[in-house]
């Protein structure tokens, strides 16, 4: 049986991670706990519970931020990507201290490693999923798009980026859930930025927790801060972000997802448009 078919999963035990936010630079601690079937992913801060669903997205400038009743949890996408990559359906994430999820090394590697230490368990109920019935695409005038199409079961994602930049122009990658390894091929890919945009980001109050250890800084000649983890690390990180944002659909997709030059804003618009479409069937039975 190919993912996303199968039983729901949660963590075997509790995991605690501390770190600094990539954008706010402020320290926070998160506790990721097991959660019951059909509860999904929930963030909790100051007594407010925010479901990890696109309905609660409040801001998508450079990161995906959720908010409810005046409480905000920032930069959830790398943690959500780890949960998606590990096939975890239900988890309860308590956020203490700062409102941003720890940025760590700018990838989802630390989340994956921490969760692997406690383990993942199957639960007593089948996972729900969106079975794609026909192609559905959201496209912008600049040629960027996100689309889904049916396949013979299973989940596969393709991602491509294109910049008008002397070092980073076009990169493409793909990930198939059953044959690929999220932990090895996607999770270690760090966030990236262009050297020219750093001053602009800081002026906007973003990237304050960024440093040479948690972001790949790209200059005209290449990566400025040490060897990249993969030759195509930027597009792998884009795929990591895509999987994280897709988690905000509530249930995984059975089908293929393709994203070209997309970012958080486009991912989220796509989720809304797809949910409103008739391109899928919500499968409830295993």
Residues with catalytic annotation? 264
Q: CB 207 → Zn ion: shortest distance, Å?
A: 12
Closest alpha carbon to 19 in 28, 6, 11, 30: 28
Cβ closest to Zn ion, residue 9 vs residue 264: 264
SS3 for 198? Answer: helix
CA distance 28 to 79: 14
Considering the complex, state which of residue 171 and residue 191 has its C-beta at the smaller distance from Zn ion.
Answer: 191
Closest approach, Cβ 77 to Zn ion, in A, equals 6
Say if residues 27 and 97 touch (Cβ distance below 8 Å). yes
Nearby residues of 112 by Cβ (< 8 Å), 6 or more positions away: 82, 85, 86, 182, 183, 187
**Closest-CA residue to 262 (of 139, 81, 132):** 139
With respect to Zn ion, which residue has the nearer C-beta, 39 or 162?
162
Residue nearer to Zn ion on the CB measure, 248 or 279: 248
User: Whose Cβ is closer to Zn ion: residue 90's or residue 191's?
Assistant: 191
Q: Which x/- pattern, by CB under 5 A, does the window 185-214 give for Zn ion?
A: ------x-----------------------
Decide: is 28 part of the binding site for Zn ion (CB under 5 A): no
Number of residues that bind Zn ion (CB under 5 A): 2
Of 146-154, 160-168, 183-191, 264-272, the window that binds Zn ion (rule: CB under 5 A) is: 183-191
Which stretch, 13-21, 35-43, 171-179, 184-192, contacts Zn ion (CB under 5 A)? Answer: 184-192
99 binds Zn ion (CB under 5 A): no
Compute the least distance from the CB of residue 46 to Zn ion, in Å: 25
Residues 6+ apart with CB under 8 A from 29: 16, 17, 18, 95, 96, 97, 102
Using the rule CB under 5 A, is 10 a contact of Zn ion? Answer: no
Rule CB under 5 A: is residue 173 a binding residue for Zn ion?
no
CA–CA gap between residue 29 and residue 20 (Å, rounded): 9
Q: How far is the CB of 279 from Zn ion (least distance, A)?
A: 27
Give the residue at shortest CB distance from Zn ion: 241
Does position 107 bind Zn ion by CB under 5 A? no
Please answer whether residues 264 and 198 qualify as being in contact, where contact means their C-beta atoms are separated by less than 8 angstroms: no
**55-63 contacts: CB < 8 A, separation 24 or more?**
57/248, 57/268, 60/263, 60/264, 60/265, 60/268, 61/204, 61/206, 62/23, 62/201, 62/206, 62/207, 62/264, 63/22, 63/23, 63/206, 63/264
Least distance between Zn ion and beta carbon 267 (Å): 11
User: What x/- string results for residues 208 through 247 when contact with Zn ion is judged by CB under 5 A?
Assistant: ---------------------------------x------
Where do contacts with Zn ion occur on this chain (CB under 5 A)? 191, 241
């Amino acid at each position: 049986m190919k993912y996303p078919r199968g039983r729901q999963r949660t963590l075997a035990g509790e995991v605690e991670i501390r770190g600094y936010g990539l954008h706010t630079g402020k320290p926070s601690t998160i506790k990721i706990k097991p959660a019951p079937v059909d509860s999904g992913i929930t963030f909790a801060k100051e007594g407010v519970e925010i479901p990890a669903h696109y309905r609660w997205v409040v801001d998508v400038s450079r990161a995906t931020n959720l908010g409810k009743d005046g409480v905000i949890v920032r930069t959830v996408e790398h943690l959500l990507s780890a949960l998606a990559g590990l096939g975890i359906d239900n988890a309860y994430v308590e956020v203490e201290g700062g409102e941003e999820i720890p940025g760590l090394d700018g990838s989802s590697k630390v989340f994956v490693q921490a969760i692997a230490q406690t383990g993942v368990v199957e639960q007593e109920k089948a996972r729900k999923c969106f079975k794609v019935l026909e192609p559905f695409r959201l496209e912008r005038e600049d040629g960027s798009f996100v689309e889904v199409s049916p396949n013979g079961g299973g989940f596969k994602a393709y991602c491509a980026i294109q910049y008008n930049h002397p070092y980073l122009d076009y990169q493409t990658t793909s990930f198939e859930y059953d044959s690929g390894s999220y932990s090895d091929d996607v999770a270690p890919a760090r966030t990236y930025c262009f050297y020219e945009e750093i001053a602009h980001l800081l002026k906007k109050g973003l990237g304050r927790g960024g440093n040479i250890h948690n972001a790949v800084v790209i200059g005209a000649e290449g990566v400025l801060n040490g060897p990249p983890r993969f030759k195509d690390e930027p597009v792998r990180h884009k795929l990591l972000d895509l999987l994280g944002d897709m988690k905000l659909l509530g249930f995984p997709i059975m089908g293929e997802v393709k994203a070209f030059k997309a970012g958080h804003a486009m991912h989220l618009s796509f989720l809304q448009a797809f949910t409103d479409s008739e391109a899928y069937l919500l499968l409830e039975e295993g």
